[in-house]
Amino acid sequence: MANADDMLKVAAERTGELAAPGMSSRPSRKVAVLACMDVRLDLYAMLGIERGQAHILRNAGGLVTDDVIRSLSASQRLLGTEEVVVIMHEHCGMNGGSDDEFSEALAADGAHPSWRLGAFTDLDATLRAGLERLRTSPELSARDRIRGFVFDPETGSLRDVESD
């Protein structure tokens, strides 16, 4: 557990930097961002946001899953967000994968999860489908300000998937 121990030590040394006395749990920019968990995506630098300005949700692929809907519903209905930005990226590990092969590997280890990996072959189509799911989800109270972008980690560029 060397990494966890190091992280605990660093946190203990930075309590003054990490403390947020008086900061609201409500994002000041009223936005929630869903993105892939890929380490190449520095969302704060990419989007020009700082701590306290946005809710950040990350998962494998930046996919709109049931749990994302749950989290966004809480973000909107309990904490006042009014806008959603979804960021997927080129060269994603989920692109070109196989749900079936992944499920078979899990089953070989005795695991039978209720979820699927969510592998895809068409990045833009997958992002557009996720945006449509958000725009039609009755669990979300704000469905008219939802945007989707694709990041290219090789060039650093961000493009609007719906303006192509």
Domain encompassing residue 79: 27-163
pTM for the model stands at: 0.94
115 in any annotated domain:
yes
At 164 the pLDDT is 66
> Which residues are within 8 A (CB) of 73 and not within 5 positions of it... i.e. 6 or more apart?
137, 139, 140, 141
The CATH number of the domain holding residue 121 is: 3.40.1050.10
Q: Under the phi-then-psi rule, with left for phi > 0, alpha for psi from -120 to 50, and beta for the rest, what region is 61?
A: left
What percent of the chain shows pLDDT beyond 90?
97
12 in any annotated domain:
no
pLDDT digits (tens, 9 = 90+) for 85-123: 999 999 999 999 999 999 999 999 999 999 999 999 999
19 in any annotated domain:
no
95 in any annotated domain:
yes
11 in any annotated domain:
no
Q: Map tokens 């209905």 to a residue.
A: 77
Q: How confident is the model at residue 13 (pLDDT cuts 50, 70, 90)?
A: very high
Q: How far apart are CA 16 and CA 10, in angstroms?
A: 12
DSSP secondary structure code for residue 120 in this structure: B
Count up the domains in the chain and report the number: 1
pLDDT digits (tens, 9 = 90+) for 53-96: 999 999 999 999 999 999 999 999 999 999 999 999 999 999 99
67 in any annotated domain:
yes
Distances (CA, A) of 100 to 60, 103, 107, 138: 16, 5, 10, 30
Are 79 and 54 contacting, i.e. CB atoms less than 8 angstroms apart?
A: no
What number of residues does the chain have? 164
Sheet strands side by side (includes 83-89): 54-59, 31-36, 83-89, 146-152, 157-160
Q: Under the phi-then-psi rule, with left for phi > 0, alpha for psi from -120 to 50, and beta for the rest, what region is 11?
A: alpha
